[in-house]
Amino acid sequence: MALQDAYRLWVMKLTALPGYGQVLDLPHSPMILLSITIVLFVIYSVLIVYYWQGWIKIPAYNHDNATSGKTTVSVIIPARNEEENIKALLDSLQTQDYPAELTEIIVIDDHSTDNTAAIVKNYPNVKLLRLNDELINSYKKKAIEMAIGHSRGSLIVTTDADCIAGQSWLSTLISFKEKNDAAFIAAPVAFDDDRAHNKLLHHFQVLDFLVLQGITGVAVHRKLMSMCNGANLAYEKNVFEEVNGFKTIDHIASGDDMLLMHKINSIHPDKVHYIKSENALITTHTAKTWNEFFNQRIRWASKANKYDDKRIFWVLLLVYLFNFSFLCLFIAGFVNYHYWFYLFYLWIAKTIVEFPFVFSIASFFKKQSLMKYFFFFQPLHVCYTIIAGWLGQFGSYEWKGRKVK
């Protein structure tokens, strides 16, 4: 009944808007487009409220440095042409407050053509491996798999070479793992502000990524398992081996994070967790160019039809169709300009519905100041969702200098 009441309310408001009568006079039942848009908006709004309430209810984990002192950990870092970034990451790992004798750091050089390997060799406590296989798509999975084969830690922690870890990163993850008997932990990732060349692109990415982080937390906490990020994951080595690693998903270019989480969740559904803690945070850099940004998002979107749990597909389809309705209204405006009024109203309504959710996530990541851009970034967000979603399924992309299908 709540959805029906909401629908009636929107229809009543719609009939009071300027140009409603003119739209009704158009041939071929143009109200069908508006009706479908309203239905999509109502369902989308329910979904966003669900995520908002879910994020608020995730308990914050208070790290107290209480670990058993027995868990051995292997930090695995796939790296390809990361000479600009990897030193900062390795320096941050040297200052961890978790015992060094229980920590192992492994870097896998994925056919780098720069000084990545030479930089890594300057750290005596870092093990350097080289990926020599020439593959088609899944280089990163192969690199992680190789490193795990050479690791001695009972807990595998993965991150990316362009990330930086806080001092209590490992001890927080391990403390959480021991207290919750976790087999798999999805942890938060945030963008830093150090190297923003294009302010518009940077601010847009930060806000967009906040939404993805919020959905990650809710999805894992509520056992929907639709999202996580390989830049900050922890899982038990024996569980990785139990699910046969990346077997059956090793032909997919991406998915070293989310698809692996699904495999582990299928066997240990009660041992997959999200950690909501500032101390467990990893920071990374935004894409420098729009081309790099779109390639990243297309890569992420390419996994949409690879999930066994088809609920994820339907949610992604809903989000895509709702955003696509903006494009439909824009095109319809060339037939009757009143559709552009409805486009603008929908823009406002989308902002109002999403604002509490995004603001609550921004507060956790201390990015509230960026909310002043939120309304103005909506058209950009709609456009990139439509383009990246389409190309993720039917196109190809370039990543780390490779053309990937």
Q: 114 with 50, same domain? A: no
Q: 53 with 89, same domain? A: no
Considering only residues 207 and 11, tell me which one the structure prediction assigns the higher pLDDT: 207
Q: 201 with 268, same domain? A: yes
Asked whether residue 106 is domain-assigned, the answer is yes
pLDDT at 275: 96
Asked whether residue 387 is domain-assigned, the answer is yes
Asked whether residue 65 is domain-assigned, the answer is no
pLDDT at 91: 97
Length of the chain counted residue by residue:
405
User: What token pair was written down for 144?
Assistant: 């992680």
Range of the domain at 182: 73-288
pLDDT at 28: 47
3-state per-residue secondary structure call for the chain: CHHHHHHHHHHHHHHCCCCHHHHHCCCCCCHHHHHHHHHHHHHHHHHHHHHHHHHHHCCECCCCCCCCCCCCEEEEEEECCCCCCHHHHHHHHHCCCCCHHHEEEEEEEECCCCCHHHHHCCCCCEEEEEECCCCCCCHHHHHHHHHHHCCCCCEEEECCCCCEECCCHHHHHHHHHHHHCCCEEECCEEECCCCCCCHHHHHHHHHHHHHHHHHHHHHHHCCCCCCCCCCCEEEEHHHHHHCCCCCCCCCCCCCCCHHHHHHHHHHCHHHEEECECHHHCEEECCCCCHHHHHHHHHHHHCCCCCCCCHHHHHHHHHHHHHHHHHHHHHHHCCCCCHHHHHHHHHHHHHHHHHHHHHHHHHHHCCCHHHHHHHHHHHHHHHHHHHHHHHHHHHCCEEECCEEEC
Give the model confidence (pLDDT) of 369-389 as tens digits.
Answer: 999 999 999 999 999 889 887
Q: Which residues contact 383 (CB under 8 A, 6 or more apart)?
A: none
Asked whether residue 240 is domain-assigned, the answer is yes
Q: 149 with 206, same domain? A: yes
Q: 159 with 51, same domain? A: no
Q: 215 with 314, same domain? A: no
Q: How confident is the model at residue 160 (pLDDT cuts 50, 70, 90)?
A: very high
Q: Identify the CATH number of the domain in which residue 102 sits.
A: 3.90.550.10
Q: What is the pTM of this model?
A: 0.83
Give the model confidence (pLDDT) of 239-298 as tens digits.
Answer: 999 999 988 887 776 668 888 998 999 999 999 999 999 999 999 988 888 888 888 787
Considering only residues 176 and 399, tell me which one the structure prediction assigns the higher pLDDT: 176
Q: 372 with 396, same domain? A: yes
Give the model confidence (pLDDT) of 22-66 as tens digits.
Answer: 444 444 445 788 899 999 999 999 999 999 999 999 999 987 667
Match 């456009």 to its residue by tokens.
383
Among 288, 321, 351, the domain boundary falls at 288
Q: 341 with 249, same domain? A: no
Q: 170 with 28, same domain? A: no
Residue 17: name the closest of 300, 241, 257, 341 by CA.
341
**Angle, alpha carbons 296-301-304 (nearest 5°):** 155
Domain count within the chain: 2
**Contact indicator for 225, 264 with CB cutoff of 8 Å:** no
pLDDT at 401: 56
Asked whether residue 68 is domain-assigned, the answer is no
Among 288, 323, 352, the domain boundary falls at 288
Integer Cα distance of 257 and 268 in angstroms:
16
Asked whether residue 62 is domain-assigned, the answer is no
Residue 292: name the closest of 371, 210, 195, 393 by CA.
195
Backbone dihedral angles phi then psi of residue 292, each to the nearest 5 degrees: -65, -40
Asked whether residue 167 is domain-assigned, the answer is yes
Asked whether residue 299 is domain-assigned, the answer is no
Q: 223 with 128, same domain? A: yes
User: What token pair was written down for 300?
Assistant: 């992420």
Among 255, 288, 321, the domain boundary falls at 288
Integer Cα distance of 282 and 7 in angstroms:
42
User: What token pair was written down for 181?
Assistant: 């008997």
| pLDDT score of 206 more than 70 | yes
Q: 99 with 248, same domain? A: yes
Give the model confidence (pLDDT) of 213-238 as tens digits.
Answer: 999 999 999 988 668 899 999 999 99
